[in-house]
Structure 1
Amino acid sequence: MTNDQLYQTAVEKGIKLLEYFTNTIPIPQSQFTDPEDLYDEGHVASDEYLFVDVERLSTPFRDLGTNSVMDHEGGKNILVHHVYDQGFENDIRIRPYFAQICNPEAGILVAEGNLTVPVAAIFEDLFIEILLLQHWLDIAFLQYLSTFPSPPPQPLPLKYIFQLTIMNETTCEILKSVIAKQDAEECGSWPGLTFDIDSEEGRAILGSPNGAGVAWMLLQHRLQLGEKQIEKVTVFYATDQGDLCKWPSLLFWVV
């Protein structure tokens, strides 16, 4: 598939996803609604995540009316990290993990670093049975939910969803096409480039693998989140301009 075909396919997927947000036909809801589901399905909480660097988001967070201080330093940002060990032996280096930075007070969810079970199994050449709870959209939602007191507020506040340093090849190619259409070689650091979700570029980003994950989280957790929609999306680099290896990041603005 050429880059143009990939881009057009993403636009069409984005259009379809936007229709789901306004469709009167009920969307099947996720069966995972309790943070305890994480443990029950083999995802174990862990504090051994060494790569968190929320300072990359200090400027975006400031513009959103908050700061990047972590909870152990007196701030409101909480790292929630789970690993999946079942079927991955002790001598295996690559294990599935899900790490999100959550700020329940500001309604911010940041996909900090995630490696799904199927992808980790491919890396280690393992056969792993299909899991019920394996998708980022469910796991990240439960991790975010776990940072609220019980019972949580209804609807659950969620205003901003970040996806940092995206390495999904398909999403990256789609973002390259989006940026090229702006007569630019790159989107630059924050504030980057922002597109209405109803624009062609916004639809293409929504139709990318990363965009679709955000959309399905909102669609399949409506019982807890309410009738939320995506208003716009921002493409930017969360790392310094001088970095040799840069990966794009996304911010989905939820209303």
Structure 2
Amino acid sequence: MTNDQLYQTAVEKGIKLLEYFTNTIPIPQSQFTDPEDLYDEGHVASDEYLFVDVERLSTPFRDLGTNSVMDHEGGKNILVHHVYDQGFENDIRIRPYFAQICNPEAGILVAEGNLTVPVAAIFEDLFIEILLLQHWLDIAFLQYLSTFPSPPPQPLPLKYIFQLTIMNETTCEILKSVIAKQDAEECGSWPGLTFDIDSEEGRAILGSPNGAGVAWMLLQHRLQLGEKQIEKVTVFYATDQGDLYS
């Protein structure tokens, strides 16, 4: 598929996803609604995550009325990290992991670093049975939910979702097409490029693999998140991250 075809397919997918947000037909809800589901499905909490660099988001966080200080330094940002060990017990192997930075007070969720079980299995040439709890949209939601007191507020506050170090090739190609349409070679650091979700570019980004994951999280966890809507999407380079989009 050419880049133009990838882009157009993403636009069409984005249009369909936006229809789901206004459609009166009920969207099937996720069966995963309790953080305990993570452990029950083999995802083990771990503090062995060495790559957190929330300072990359210090400027956007400031503009959103908060800061990038982590909780162990007295701030409100909490790293939640889980690894999946089953079938990946050998330490030399790549293990699936999910690491999100959560700020429940500000309603911010940051996808810091994620390697899903199917992708890790491909890297390691392993056969892994299909898991019920394997998608980022469910795992990240449960990790975010875990940072709230029990019982959590209803609806759960979630205002901003960041995705750092995007490495999905399809998403990156779609983003390149979006940027090229602005007659630019790159989007620059924050505030980068912002698009209304109803614009062609906004729909294309929503229809990318990364954008669709966010959409399905909001759609399939409506019972706890409430009727969330996506208004805008911003693309920017994270500080000191070379050519990795955020």
The TM-score by the shorter chain falls in which range?
over 0.9
Partner of 2:223: 223
User: CA offset at residue 241 of structure 1?
Assistant: 7.7
Partner of 1:65: 65
| Residue-by-residue CA offset, 1:84-105 (whole Å, 9 max, x unaligned) | 0001122432000000000000
User: CA offset at residue 123 of structure 1?
Assistant: 0.4
- Secondary structure at the counterpart of residue 134 of structure 2: coil
- Secondary structure at the counterpart of residue 236 of structure 2: strand
| Residue-by-residue CA offset, 1:66-125 (whole Å, 9 max, x unaligned) | 000000000000000000000112243200000000000000000000000000000000
Change (3 A) 1:197 1:44: same
| Residue-by-residue CA offset, 1:195-239 (whole Å, 9 max, x unaligned) | 000000000000000000000000000000000010000000112
Contact 1:189-1:240 within 8 A present in 2 as well: no
Distance 1:92 1:33 in 2: 33
Distance 1:144 1:91 in 2: 27
TM-score, L = length of structure 1: 0.94
TM-score, L = length of structure 2: 0.97
Change (3 A) 1:198 1:135: same
Distance 2:206 2:75 in 1: 31
Greater alpha carbon shift after TM alignment, 30-39 vs 92-101: 92-101
- Secondary structure at the counterpart of residue 49 of structure 2: coil
- Secondary structure at the counterpart of residue 37 of structure 1: helix
Contact 1:188-1:241 within 8 A present in 2 as well: no
Greater alpha carbon shift after TM alignment, 211-220 vs 89-98: 89-98
Change (3 A) 1:23 1:67: same
Greater alpha carbon shift after TM alignment, 9-18 vs 231-240: 231-240
Distance 2:241 2:121 in 1: 34
Distance 1:195 1:240 in 2: 24
Partner of 1:16: 16
Contact 1:154-1:225 within 8 A present in 2 as well: yes
Partner of 1:132: 132
Question: 1:170-249, aligned counterparts within 5 Å?
Answer: 170-240=170-240
Change (3 A) 1:241 1:119: closer
Q: Structure 2: which 5+ residue stretches go unaligned? A: none
Contact 1:45-1:81 within 8 A present in 2 as well: yes
Root-mean-square deviation over aligned CA pairs: 2.0
Contact 1:76-1:105 within 8 A present in 2 as well: yes
Partner of 1:249: none
| Residue-by-residue CA offset, 1:127-174 (whole Å, 9 max, x unaligned) | 000000000000000000000000000000000000001000000000
User: CA offset at residue 191 of structure 1?
Assistant: 0.4
Contact 1:189-1:241 within 8 A present in 2 as well: no
Contact 1:14-1:204 within 8 A present in 2 as well: yes
Change (3 A) 1:146 1:13: same
User: CA offset at residue 242 of structure 1?
Assistant: 6.8
Partner of 1:118: 118
Contact 1:42-1:85 within 8 A present in 2 as well: yes
